[in-house]
Structure 1
Amino acid sequence: MRGRAFVLAVVALLSVPATAQTRGDDPYFNAAQAGFNALQVDTRLWLQIFLTSAGHWPAVPNVTFSRRLFDATRQYQLSRGEAPTGVLTKPQIDQMLASASSVLAGWRMRWVPHPTRGRQLWVPIGLDLQATRTDLGVEMREPRNRFKLRFNAIPATNVRATYEATLREMVGSGDTINFKVVRNDFFVITGNQGRYSRYVRYHTDGDGILGFDMSWSDDDAPVYGNRLVTVISGSLWATMSGATTNCPPDAMRN
């Protein structure tokens, strides 16, 4: 979806009165939820991808409105010194789109298939990545070593065993673990060591697992690693779960 089309679609948010009353002590949540639910599914996802790319939403896109998304939208409004209603105005949308589009244009995200499994992942080819085939898939590295991503398929293993092995390896190498979660069908571990951050995510895939292991230095332009890893993680989650997803933006041209 191009930037202008996105703005027109999100205008639906503006038709819901921000003063609508709700039960409880928050007079704005129902209005924001109604505006979000009025959007088409792909536009709901794009709204969150743009918020993430602009640095305001650190979570995988979801088609359901949540208190976390409401709070993130209000924080964005507060950062502009404006009323935190959770219902975006057109000037707010325009600024968010401009900021996000600049970042997305630098990333130039594209679907990249795994060499053997055929599953796809969004990859920032705008970072001039150097790709190397590996036994497990492909490794992509930014020339100045500010970004590295390994897109791996590991046969004959499961989520729990790989989670435990990866956690031991990260702790043993000196990483500070910031977040970890393991479920029956996927796991995520995040950590950092000095100026480098690392994010590992794998999902069940047949009789093995498939996922990515990403590391980056600091969080500056053009990498913006904390934003980038959220967008990539969302693309893997959509690929593996069969959820609705979008095609990568092509530099957000109008």
Structure 2
Amino acid sequence: MLRRARTRSFALATLTILAAGSAQAQALKPKLPAAAPATVPDPAFEAMRTAFEALPEAERKAIQDALVWGGDYNSVVTGGFGRRTFEALNAFRARAGAQGGVLGPAMRAALLAAGETARKAARFTVKPDPASGVVMGVPEGLLTRRSALPGGTRWQSADGRVTLESRSFPQGETDLDALFERATAPLNDRKVTYKLKRPDFVVVTAETGTGRSYVRYASGAEGIRGFALGYDRALAAQVDRLVIAIANSFVPFPGAAPAAEAPRVEAKADAPKESATKGMPKPPAPAARPPATQAAMAAAPGPMAPAGTGLVVAAGRVLTASAVVETCPGLRIGGGTGRVLKSDPARGLALVEAAGLPAPAVPGVRANPLASEENLVVVAAGAEGIAVAPGSGSGAGGVFAPLQPGAAGAPILDRTGGLAGLVARFPSAPRLIAGVMPPTSFALVPGGTVAAFLGENGIMAAPPAALRDGTLGTVAGVVGKAVVAVTCGR
């Protein structure tokens, strides 16, 4: 996915400025003991890595995004683990006095809550800017004044000490070379602190006696698009993290044709400056791949999230949430047409006929309600295939998990393999962080209701068979190939 890889590579290179190339990044980095030499295993680092990498990608990204908002993480959000993520997690842990293991549920919940609180306080909103055509986040709580520019938009703080501008130039009006030269031209009061020029993007940061600036442009078939941010040096503690958040959210060409994925560099996003920026791969020629953000997904073709998830409960019979079939004309399941046999909106369930699907080993249904904080596993269909997400029972009788579009109707299992219910619905307009849905509380259809509905339709649910090994993979294996994507035909 060229645009996603280019955007990530672009963000990686530019955020390295803040992470290692300037004094402001040093101010953001937590003051922790030096890492052990590379040749000496660090047990604490490896324990944190193991716990972090066991989480779904969506939750890993949400954690890194929350660390950005807490001021502990100053790199691109990729879901990859490295020294910066390790130090940031330890900084948050020390400051918050987090309990519950290396990266336990309590610590993750506290971290995500803190990040969301900071994000809401800034009123950080990621959305398209019609004037320039870009998609990016704007801290509307700080930048309260908005005005139009030729080919862009200007946002400013009430006191004028922070200014963010989106910019665009049609094909042929200028080029990256000219913009780069203008941004790096010698001025008496300006010192360029970092500059990077690639065939398809440029980044320049600079400082004056009283201010800092960050300029970024990307070129594409539609011309050149970018943004510039300038702010008072005295506001660095507040604005530095916003620079990172804006850069992580920035998509210059959300409506462009999808492109092939460049060699992945996000594993190095957490690495030292030298390995992160030197020898970045040049993107290959375009081919079909999805865009980088939810807004872009809505504007361009590519693998989209299904309408929902189904669970094959008998030969040719699929159980899903009624919310899925209510808004999905032309149901398709497993490449074939689906026909609604029964929909019960009052209970939130629907049974769909899908010819050709073999009878699965239906998991036993759990009748007793979930306990708050009980460990759960959700198996859902997504844009990239079946996804397994850890979750927990919420106080409102739902499930708290990092689910993504397409999760409505997904089976929820307890750690013994019992079917505890189905995800009742997914928000029609989810609020995304760094392009993904953070862990959120979702309503569920309880297992007892599922068993009753199946019985009324001639499908008998078996009692749950207790598992001894309650790992994510083992529990997800209970439903195996019985989880299918429900899509909408035209």
Answer yes or no: same fold by TM over 0.5. Answer: yes
Cross-structure match for 1:214: 229
Aligned to 2:176: 159
State the partner residue of 1:192: 207
Gaps of 5+ in 1: 1-21
Q: Is the CA contact (8 Å cut-off) linking 2:132 and 2:153 kept in structure 1?
A: no
Q: Structure 2 vs 1, CA of residues 165 and 62 (structure 1 numbering), >3 Å: closer, same or farther?
A: same
Moved more, 210-219 or 154-163: 154-163
Q: 2:292 aligns with which of 239, 243, 247?
A: 243
| Match for residue 39 of structure 1 among 34, 51, 55 | 55
Show the counterpart of 2:71: 55
Aligned mate of 1:69, from 75, 85, 93: 85
- Is contact 1:106–1:127 with CA below 8 Å preserved after alignment? no
The secondary structure found in structure 2 opposite 1:126 is coil
- Tell me whether 138-147 or 235-244 shows the greater mean CA deviation: 235-244
- The answer as to 2:241 corresponding to 1:227 is yes
How far is 1:214 from its partner? 0.6
Q: Which has the higher contact order (CA 8 A, sep 6+)?
A: 1
**CA distance, structure 2, for counterparts of residue 31 and residue 188 of structure 1:** 36
In the other structure, the counterpart of 2:216 is 201
Give the counterpart letter for 1:64 in structure 2. Answer: G
Task: Kindly indicate which of the two structures has a greater share of residues assigned to helix.
Answer: 1
**SS of alignment partner, residue 248 of structure 2:** helix
Please give the root-mean-square deviation of Cα atoms over the aligned residues, in Å.
Answer: 3.5
Conservation of the 8 A alpha-carbon contact between 1:106 and 1:126: yes
Identity %: 27
| Secondary structure at the counterpart of residue 35 of structure 1 | helix
Q: Gaps (5+ residues) in structure 2? A: 1-37, 260-290, 295-430, 442-490
Q: Summarize the Cα distance change of 1:238–1:97 in structure 2 as closer, same or farther, 3 Å threshold.
A: farther
User: Is this contact kept in 1: 2:64–2:79, CA < 8 A?
Assistant: no
Q: Aligned partner of 1:121: which letter? A: M
The separation in 1 between residues aligned to 2:72 and 2:80, in whole angstroms, is: 17
> Which residue is 2:137 aligned to?
122
Counterpart among 111, 128, 132 of residue 126 in structure 2:
111
Distance in 2 between the 1:187 and 1:125 partners? 26
What amino acid is aligned across from residue 235 of structure 1 in structure 2? S
8 Å CA contact 1:122, 1:248 repeated in 2: no
Partner Cα distance (1:72, 1:203) in 2? 30
Q: Which has the larger radius of gyration?
A: 2
- Which AA in structure 2 matches 1:38? A
Q: SS of the residue aligned with 1:163?
A: helix
Contact 1:175–1:191 (Cα < 8 Å) also in 2: yes
Kindly state the Cα deviation for residue 175 of structure 1 after the two structures are TM-superposed.
2.2
How far has the Cα of 1:243 moved from its partner?
3.0
- Contact 2:122/2:142 (8 A) holds in 1: yes
| 2:133 counterpart letter in structure 1 | G
C-alpha deviations, 1:156-197, integer Å up to 9, x for none? 2333432222111xx415222222222222222222223322
Q: How does 1:77-116 map to 2 (within 5 A)?
A: 77=93, 87-90=102-105, 92-93=107-108, 95-116=110-131
User: Within 1, Cα distance between the matches of 2:49 and 2:223?
Assistant: 39
Name the residue aligned to 1:13: none
In 1: Cα distance, 2:68 partner to 2:233 partner:
17
Could you say what secondary structure the match of 1:127 adopts? coil
Letter in 2 for 1:167: T
Given that 2:57 and 2:79 are in contact with CA atoms closer than 8 Å, whether structure 1 keeps it comes out as: yes
